[in-house]
Amino acid sequence: QAKLDGKNCIKFYDESLKEDIRNRLDMLKKLRKSIENQEFSLYYQPKVDTKTGKCVGAEALIRWIDADGNMIGPDQFIPLAEDTGLIVQIGEWVLEEACSQLVRWHKLGFDDLTIAINISGRQLQHPELIDHVTDAQTRNQLDPKFIELELTEQVFIENIDSSKAFMHGVREKGFSLSIDDFGVGYSSLSYLKHFPVDTIKIDRSFVRNLPHDQDDVHLVNTIINLAHNMGLKLVAEGIEDIKQLEFLAHKDCHIAQGFFFSKPIPGDEFTKFLLSMNGNFTPSIISNMTS
Ligand code: C2E
Ligand code: MG
Ligand code: MG
Ligand code: MG
């Protein structure tokens, strides 16, 4: 009996493993095609000044709209794109697309908007990453100060050597650097000393239960103090309601991002937003708050 169970067990794992591999290969085939067919699209989420309600920039977030019209989020394909190296090609497309969109907004008169672009580990390991960023910037004749690169702590810590080389390039060329999902990685704070970090982004897991969860209140206060003391800019992610926004604005967290202002939206929709509201995402709410 035991033997039989064991055998069934092995068979079960074997089948599910096979299915896993089959799914991955399927997905990989689709992903390769999607690059050829240009099925990617960039969505943008506003970053809002907590004092004025003014939109100060946008984060570019990739979406894959497959041949059947389904929208596939980055969490579902970025890992595969990383494992296979396809992320390098995808990343180059993201850089070009995001920079050219920013230029269109600048030309409409929103000429101090910044663009934030996410960079993952495999991209960081690629020795030409800094050249890819610089190429997109110069091709679009953008001042490098408008380009923010977002890297998670994890990515830094797992790639110390390539990080160092990349950071050197970032500083030399004048791009800015944000630590994404701050607080959820290993949080070895020493990299704040060694790397030219400009901004930290408080992870949304700390924001979700503000202001009623006392632990989160203490954690966020500590992160805010750290940033203020080190002269770093602060962005809070995942703002979904006015209470969270009020708490953060009151503590001088400069910039907020989240569904409260807007979900990530396509570029032309973002343009309409900018034009119709003159770059102010929530004028009435913020002015009520500060008056
Ligand atoms: P991230 O950079 O931390 O981006 C923030 C994620 O939180 C986005 O998910 C965004 O849609 C979501 N979000 C924003 N505000 C709220 C909110 O108020 N509530 C909730 N529940 N969620 C919110 P998304 O777009 O699915 O992206 C997931 C991750 O995929 C990103 O995390 C980033 O690490 C990665 N990613 C996205 N685009 C790119 C890209 O172009 N290149 C690379 N390498 N990675 C990307
Ligand atoms: Mg990000
Ligand atoms: Mg994040
Ligand atoms: Mg994230």
Selection from 254, 259, 289, 80 nearest residue 178 by Cα? 254
Tell which one of 96, 118, 244 to mutate to probe ligand 1, the residue whose CB is within 8 A of the most ligand atoms: 118
Q: Which two tokens stand for residue 155?
A: 């990515």
The pLDDT mean for the chain works out to 90
159 band by pLDDT with thresholds 50, 70 and 90: confident
Contact 137 CB / ligand 1 (< 6 Å):
no
Tell which one of 35, 59, 61 to mutate to probe ligand 1, the residue whose CB is within 8 A of the most ligand atoms: 61
Greater confidence (168 vs 40) lies with 40
ipTM for this prediction: 0.98
- Tell me: the pLDDT tens digits for 182-231? 988 766 687 888 888 999 999 999 999 999 999 999 999 999 999 999 99
Selection from 65, 59, 57, 130 nearest residue 92 by Cα? 130
Whether this prediction's pTM lies above 0.90 is answered by: yes
pLDDT reported for residue 2: 44
Contact 259 CB / ligand 1 (< 6 Å):
yes
Ligand 1 centroid distance, CA of 236 (Å): 13
3-state secondary structure 62-115: EEEECCCCCEECHHHHHHHHHHCCHHHHHHHHHHHHHHHHHHHHHHCCCCCCEE
